[in-house]
Amino acid sequence: MLASITSVASHSSALGYPLLTFLILAPAIGAVVTLLVPGRRPELARAVGYVASMATFAMALFLLVQFDSGASGFQLVESHSWIGAFGITWTLGVDGISLFMVALTALLIPIGLLASAKIDKPKAFTFWMLLLEASVIGVFLALDAIVFFIFFEFVLVPMYFLIAGWGHGNRRYAAMKFFLFTMAGSAFLLLGLLSVAFLHQRDTHTLTFSIPALTDWASAHVHGATAKWLFCAFAIGFAVKVPLVPFHTWLPDAHTDAPTAGSVVLAGVLLKMGTYGFLRFAVPFFPQAAVDLAPILLVVAVIGITYGAIVAAMQPNLKRIIAYSSVAHLGFVVLGIFAFTQQGISGGMFTMISHGLTTGALFLLVGMLYERRHTYEIVDYRGLWKAVPVFGGLFVATTFASIGLPGFSGFVGEFLSLLGAFLTSRWYAVVATTGVILAAVYLLWAVQRAFTGEPDEANKATPEIGFRELVTVVPLLGLSLFLGFYPKPVLDRLQPSVKALVAHVEQHSDYREPAVANLGPVAQAANGAGK
Amino acid sequence: MILLTAAPARIPSPSVDWFSILPAIALFAAAIIIVLGRSLIRHDPRVTHAGLFTAIAGVAASAIFTGIQWSFVHSDGPYQAMGGTVAVDGFTVFVQTVILGATLLALLISAGYLRRESLEGAEYYALMLCSATGMMLMASANDFITIFLALEILSISLYVLAAFDRRRLTSQEAGLKYFLLGSFSSAVFLYGIALVYGATGTTNLTGIARFLSQTVLLHDGVLLVGIALLLVGLGFKVAAAPFHMWTPDVYQGAPTPVTAFMAAATKAAAFAAILRIFVGAFSSFSVDWRPEIWGLAVLSLLVGSIAAVVQTDVKRMLAYQSISHAGFILIGVEAASLRGTAAALYYVCVYAVMATGAFAVVMVVARRGDDRHSLSDYRGLAAARPVLAGLLTLFLLAQAGVPLTGGFIAKLGVFSAAVDAGQYWLALIGMLAAVIGAFVYLRIVLAMFAPEEGEVATAESPIRVDGGTATALTIAAAAILFLGIVPGIVLDFARHATQLLAR
């Protein structure tokens, strides 16, 4: 029998201490300590930031080790009552879907801090970054819908201050737009959550927001129009976050005007909160509605892939190109998820990880250019490769990684997600494939304009990449390369959860996974692709 | 008609249970002492200080009596006193606690304000205590006559308080406007009482509930008009649209501590009356009044949040937002359920804290003259006074309903109640109004933290935070975080309070 996606692994409390709570508390405590550091000692605040975020990273690595790769349910679950009047409990747990998102967050925050070593007002900056880390990790670990929502909403606050306080260009507008768009989306999400919980209460006379309990109940008892309405409420909430066309307009502004570390975290993990939401709530809660409405989401995903790529190609601003490329990449994730095949969902999730690494690295590199030249306009750059060869090489390599060249993680993710989509929704996959080519167009064209040719005086004077900057980029690029050649460790941990999710959808809807999709382990197909 | 045909009966004289109104008496006694002291000792400046301490002592004594009442209610259950005109139940205790807390905070921020504006006078404290007395009575009133008396006691003192800054024209205007419209709404309220009495033959809320549950009214027109008029009168007091016209002007013109007091405590008292009258007495007519409350809630939410968007005056923005907060609380009332009532109570409590906190910062930033309220006066505040800006941000984010603040739990409560009652659209409108509200709050936050280049206001006179205000701000900030992170205690209190309603 297949393990249910909502099962709680038997060895859940094997550790004897609440590792997951620590993962949230460590950066939160770091943030409070930062606040207590006197304003005259900025270097102390920075040190607190490194220590807290590295401690979190170490714990995340420990979590990766502790994670039982064969199990599909939630692991390391811990639960305490919190707000009894609403049936809200502090319940945390991790499964294959959330594991790597936590790890990615824990990796990107220290890198973001390191990349922002020269930023002004370091105390406040560190405070918000650590608070951001705590809340993002909370989003991925929460097994109580309201706890999830609390973190999901709270993420807006530090990100808002990061954009408004340290951004550039039209930062005030961008920060406001980011906050309001997402909050408006969350309104639908909260309405959906409350509706499910109270329908559940009417049926069972217990008020709970436990995600496993609501998943089991909603997938079996909510049907027809109710399920479709509720699915739409959830979908709107998450679509704003992903973002899916037509809710994407906040993203280019927020990405472009955010400070480098903000963009890295925004693209790296914040957008994935949306796709994660689809995997954790919208699809498992209402499998039949998800299957019925999948064509809409597939269309939107394909539009995102092609539209994002075309608009990106037209941008004169380097950072805006990367911003729009996120719209396209996240389109692949949604395409994979709503293919409902193991390959598709694995591919979508793998793209989530890969996009965090490669786009994070791209934002870091573009940020370095901005620090040197105070412009993102492509026309200001020419012949950079000759002027700064190491930087140029890294940039081109990262571009390849982002395009999804074989050998980089992007290829594995997009290939799987296209493969999965091809099995069930052939024509969507065919159109989406053009996005792969378009990605090469917009990124390589930008590289060609900025990096090739003969540098003029201003470009010649651009300083070469420093050691600290190398330390921020190389791990991301290295990981992308490693996962491109050897994705097995990740896919092995994703697979049980993905398999259980597909089984869950099959069990509660009229959808049947095509036999060909279930022939062999996903990892095999992927390893074949990686070589 | 009933009276004419009834046989002449002896009017029973009720036994007077002083204990049931002791919390109100304690406040009133303190007010009397202050007035007496003021008239006996004329020229000693220490009278003002003594006035403040007497007032705080009165609040403390009142709090102790409220605590004793709670222990009685908890052990022996709710009861009615004074011939059924006063109810001592969990609901009374909860609302009284909120009123006392709001009064304490208002007193604390008043001291520094009065000194700064050279308005020192013990009368101010006496008036505030009188008003609070009315509110305490309103919280426990179980009879329309008592409610009306309480309403007048609290209002008349507030009219004077709103106009207390004699030298400032806007303050006088606020007082006059509040007085004119307030007395008009009292008249409407009184007419509503008369009609309800005509329809049911009693002014006692328990009696009305009993009458309506046992009797089928063939012609309920009089009662329905009465209910509507009551709603108009109370809608005025809680500043619900479309009876909100006075709110922006009065809130803006009144001395800022009075504005804080008005927003926090008056809303609590008036909502206590609304809940007791509608969810309590008229529960069997909920089919008729729920749509009315629905309309009031939606209008308040939209008017409050949308009108706030176009303001450039921070005090006025907060005034408009108080209208939209009334709308959120009305969402809880509309549910007409235990969950809704508890949620409304919790919201009232949270709002008292976050409104007082925000207005306290507004008062400090306004500096001497109490007129620097424009958004440009807040530009760059974070750089100049980071702690003050941080506190205002906390209170504003709480009002926006950001998680980990009391405001989130409060909004979650009313939205839960609405969804539980099947009012999905109302909940959605409320949530979207919260988004518009967030825009308003974020504008203020942006001005403080990320002013546009060259826009930083040059502070010609430094901002001073006196001890009392600092204490009040600390209490409010701690409370708003407490109410957001460990809300269980107060939530359970509110739920118990609703269950222990005297019937």
Query: Is pLDDT at A25 greater than 50 in this prediction?
Result: yes
Chain mean position to CA B395: 17
Peptide bond into A514 cis (omega under 30): no
Give the model's confidence band at A14: pLDDT under 50 very low, under 70 low, under 90 confident, else very high.
low
Task: Please tell me the least confidently modeled range out of A471-475, A515-519, B371-375.
Answer: A515-519
Residues of A in contact with B404 (CB under 8 A): 150, 154
Displacement of CA A281 from its chain's centroid (Å): 16
What phi, psi does B250 have (nearest 5°)?
-70, -45
User: Residue B19's pLDDT is what?
Assistant: 87
Residue B2 has pLDDT above 80, yes or no: no
Nearest C-alpha of chain B: how many angstroms from A154?
A: 6
What are phi and psi for residue A89, nearest 5 degrees? -125, 150
Task: Read off the pLDDT of each residue in A48-73 and give the average, rounded to a whole number.
Answer: 90
Asked if B431 lies within 8 A of A191 by C-beta distance, the reply is yes
Averaged over A459-472, what is the pLDDT? 86
Place of tokens 């009993």: B210
Question: Distance between CA B346 and CA B405 in Å, rounded?
Answer: 13
* pLDDT over 90 (residue A461): no
Of B457 and B58, which is predicted with more confidence?
Answer: B58
CB-CB neighbors (< 8 A) of B379 in chain A: none
Calculate mean pLDDT across residues A112-139.
Answer: 92
Quote the pLDDT of residue B38: 85
Nearest to A85 among B402, B449, B488 (CB): B488
Helix count (H) and strand count (E) of chain A?
Answer: 24, 2
**In chain A, residues 141-170 whose CB comes closer than 8 Å to chain B:** 146, 149-151, 153-154, 156-157, 160-161, 164-165
Task: Provide the shortest C-alpha distance from residue B431 to chain A (in Å).
Answer: 5
- Helix, strand, coil percent content, chain A, rounded in steps of 5: 75, 5, 20
Q: Mean pLDDT score of chain A, rounded to an integer? A: 88
Asked if pLDDT for residue A530 goes beyond 60, the answer is: no
pLDDT at position B456:
56
The whole-number pLDDT of residue A373 equals 86
Residue B1: pLDDT band by 50, 70, 90 thresholds?
very low
Q: Do A171 and B492 touch (CB under 8 A)?
A: no
Using CB atoms within 10 A of its CB, is residue A371 exposed (0-12), middle (13-18) or buried (19+)? middle
Q: Does B417 touch chain A (CB under 8 A)?
A: no
Q: Inspect the interface and report whether the beta carbons of B442 and A195 lie closer than 8 Å.
A: no
> Using an 8 Å Cβ cutoff, are A5 and A69 in contact?
no
Contact status of B375 with chain A (Cβ, < 8 Å): no
> For chain B, how many helices (H) and strands (E)?
21, 2
CB of A111 closer than 8 Å to CB of A360: yes
Q: How far is B501 from chain A (nearest CA, A)?
A: 18
B428–chain A Cβ distance below 8 A for any pair: yes
Euclidean distance between the first and the last CA atom of chain A, given in angstroms as a whole number: 33
pLDDT of B4 above 90: no
d(CA A132, CA A155): 6
- CB of B488 less than 8 A from some CB of A: yes
Binary contact (A84, B432; C-beta < 8 A) = no
| Cα–Cα dist A44/A483, whole Å | 36
Q: What is the pLDDT of residues B151-180, one digit of tens each?
A: 999 999 999 999 998 888 889 999 999 999
Over pLDDT 70: what percentage of chain A? 94
Query: Euclidean distance between the first and final Cα of chain B, in Å?
Result: 27
Query: Is residue B8 helix, strand or coil?
Result: coil
Q: What is the pLDDT of residues B342-380, one digit of tens each?
A: 999 999 999 999 999 999 999 999 888 888 888 888 888
Question: Which alpha helices (DSSP H) does A404-466 contain, by range?
Answer: 409-424, 426-451, 457-460
- Report whether B281 contacts B209 (CB < 8 A): yes
ipTM for this prediction: 0.91
Query: Considering only CB atoms, which chain A residues are within 8 Å of B428?
Result: 187-188, 191
pLDDT band at B303 (very low <50, low <70, confident <90, very high): very high
Q: Per the CB < 8 Å rule, is B439 touching A180?
A: yes
For residues A243 and A251, the answer to whether their CB atoms sit within 8 Å is: yes
Query: How close is the nearest chain A Cα to the Cα of B412, in Å?
Result: 9
Residue type (1 letter), B229: L
Distance of residue B428 Cα from the nearest chain A Cα, in angstroms: 7
By C-alpha distance, the chain B residue nearest A35 is: B387
Considering only CA atoms, which of A218, A216, A219, A213 is closest in space to residue A195?
A218
Name residues whose C-beta falls within 8 Å of residue A16's C-beta, 6 or more positions apart in sequence.
none
Contacts 24+ apart (CB under 8 A), A30-39: A30/A55, A30/A56, A30/A130, A31/A126, A31/A127, A31/A128, A31/A130, A31/A131, A31/A134, A34/A123, A34/A126, A34/A127, A34/A130, A35/A123, A35/A127, A37/A123, A39/A123
pLDDT of residue A527: 47
Chain A partners within 8 Å of B489 (Cβ): none
Give yes or no for B109 touching A (CB within 8 A). no
Confidence of residue B461 (pLDDT cuts 50, 70, 90): confident
pLDDT of residue B218 exceeding 90, the answer is: no
Higher pLDDT, A357 or A8: A357
pLDDT at A103: 94
Q: So what's the pLDDT on residue B497?
A: 83
Q: Is A435 exposed, middle or buried (0-12, 13-18, 19+ CB in 10 A)?
A: buried
Is the pLDDT assigned to residue A58 strictly greater than 60?
yes
What pTM, to 2 d.p., does this model score?
0.93
Q: Provide mean pLDDT across the span B269-291.
A: 91
Mean pLDDT for the stretch of residues B137-150:
94
Contact A194 B416 (CB under 8 A): yes
**Given this model, what pLDDT does residue B460 score?**
62
Q: pLDDT-based confidence at B27, cuts 50/70/90?
A: very high
Rg (CA), chain A: 22
Two structure tokens written together for B264: 């926090």
pLDDT number for residue B5: 54
**What integer is the mean pLDDT of B393-414?**
94
Contacts B414 to A, Cβ<8 Å: none
- Smallest CA–CA distance, residue B164 to chain A, in Å, is 39
**How sure is the predictor about B393, in pLDDT bands with cuts at 50, 70 and 90?**
very high
Contacts of A191 in chain B (CB under 8 A): 415, 419, 424, 427-428, 431
Smallest CA-to-CA distance from A254 within A152, A108, A156 is with: A156
SS3 sequence, B300-326? HHHHHHHHHHCCCEHHHHHHHHHHHHH
pLDDT digit string, tens, across residues A204-215: 988 999 999 999
Q: What confidence score (pLDDT) does residue B149 get?
A: 95
Average pLDDT (A121-129) is: 92
Q: Does A217 touch chain B (CB under 8 A)?
A: no
